[in-house]
Amino acid sequence: MSWTDERVETLKRMWAEGQSASQIAKELGGVTRNAVIGKVHRLGLSNRAPGGREDEDEAPVAAKPEPKPEPAGTTARAEPAPPRPAPERPVAAPSNVTPLPVRKPIVPAGQPLPPQPSANEISPEALASVREVEKRARRLTLMELTERTCKWPIGDPATDDFWFCGLPSLPGKPYCEAHVGVAFQPMSARRDRRR
């Protein structure tokens, strides 16, 4: 694979969007995150806009030759500060926490997450398991989610009482075992259960 104009464009766009190098690499395919990072540096867009105003063009002449007294170890690193999807209070759900087919947590521009077929029926054990699991949830924030962490939302997004499960997700699935069990229910299964 080579850096065609199109691929570079995708790289630029995603990098600007705050996507991580590994995410970009996966999107492009045929390259590693190292390749992406390397390219990013060669393109000279290493620091992403922290959300606020940033200088467009670089002042070529620096007045300060040596502004750093520290001998080593100092890292002038700019925080990414990814776009945070402010929780636009939808419907302040009461204490009634029973999200059945709720499957679409706010994931940072992730993949479509195709629906998985499942011959699962929601069992009392599964429900109990979920309750239990949610007590032990890692309580991750949006930014801490990865492809292998459960993205099941817990709590009320309109309050601080909100986080994501964060337990290890099943390979290829967005949720942990317990949450997959209640998330993916075929219509038929639900109907049958309503007996």
Query: What is the binding site for DNA (CB under 7 A)?
Result: 1-3, 20-23, 31-35, 37-42, 46-47, 73, 75, 77, 80, 146-148
- Estimate the crossing angle of helix 21-28 against helix 33-42, to 10 degrees: 110
Task: Kindly tell me which of 48 and 130 has the beta carbon lying closer to DNA.
Answer: 48
Burial of 33 (0-12, 13-18, 19+ CB in 10 A): middle
Q: Could you tell me the smallest distance in angstroms from the CB atom of residue 14 to DNA?
A: 10
Task: Kindly tell me which of 2 and 96 has the beta carbon lying closer to DNA.
Answer: 2
Task: Kindly tell me which of 5 and 160 has the beta carbon lying closer to DNA.
Answer: 5
DSSP string, 35-69: HHHHHHHHTT--SPP-SS---SS--S--S-S----
Q: Could you tell me the smallest distance in angstroms from the CB atom of residue 44 to DNA?
A: 9
Q: Could you tell me the smallest distance in angstroms from the CB atom of residue 81 to DNA?
A: 12
Q: Could you tell me the smallest distance in angstroms from the CB atom of residue 95 to DNA?
A: 33
